[in-house]
Amino acid sequence: MPGLLRGVARTAVIAGTASAVNGRVQRRQAERFAGRDAQIYAEREAAYAQQAPQQSYAQPAPQPPQPAATGTGDTIAQLKDLAALRDQGVLTDAEFEAEKAKILA
């Protein structure tokens, strides 16, 4: 019986040690893989950032505003058209304000 108890105790110690070592190995591998994945992600982001400026899409030139008419209905229509161009991203806010000043002048 003491031999059996000694064998069971030895097996428990060996199994516990193996489990602890396995846990440390798994943690180290997870840390290494996380670092490698972060490096790969950073390299892909840098490559994408370098390619992004090269892929420029030509935007249509802003349409020249129509000459201002004497009627207020036409002025309102022109302002609405300018606002639509600004909302579509064709005109910047500064360009919108400059054209609006021309129409209202």
The string of pLDDT tens digits covering residues 16-66 is 787 777 778 888 888 888 888 888 888 888 888 777 665 555 666 677 666
Q: Are residues 76 and 37 in the same domain?
A: no
The confidence score (pLDDT) of residue 63 equals: 72
Range of the structural domain that residue 11 is part of: 2-54
Taking the CA atoms of 42, 58, 62 and 90 in sequence, report the sign of the dihedral they define.
negative
Q: From CA 43, how far away is CA 37, in angstroms rounded?
A: 10
Cα–chain-centroid distance for residue 67? 42
Determine if the pTM surpasses 0.85: no
Q: Mean pLDDT, the chain, as a whole number?
A: 79
Q: Are residues 41 and 78 in the same domain?
A: no
CB 50 within 8 A of CB 72: no
Taking the CA atoms of 77, 82, 87 and 90 in sequence, report the sign of the dihedral they define.
positive
The confidence score (pLDDT) of residue 54 equals: 57
Q: How many structural domains are present in the chain? A: 2
